[in-house]
Amino acid sequence: MIIDCGTCDMRETSTCDDCVVSALVGDNGILELIDSERDAIASMSRVGLVSPIRLVPTTAPAAQG
């Protein structure tokens, strides 16, 4: 899983402020997680140890043609 904050609709919002990715790499970062890392963050998030990944990928505009 590649998380690129530059392509997240929640960038520079209060949601971004509570995203574990912002805590790890800042709000302009790119983070690549393997499945076990993503699962570990999800597990820690479920019990309240860290904020969840709040990525909301931007949707590319439909191609005009």
* Structural domain harbouring 41: 2-46
42 assigned to some structural domain: yes
- Compute the distance between CA of residue 46 and CA of residue 56 in angstroms, rounded to an integer: 19
Q: What is the pLDDT of residues 31-58, one digit of tens each?
A: 888 999 989 989 999 999 988 888 888 8
34: CB partners within 8 A, 6+ apart: 1
Taking the complete model, does pTM exceed 0.75, yes or no?
Answer: no
53 assigned to some structural domain: no
How many separate domains does the chain show?
1
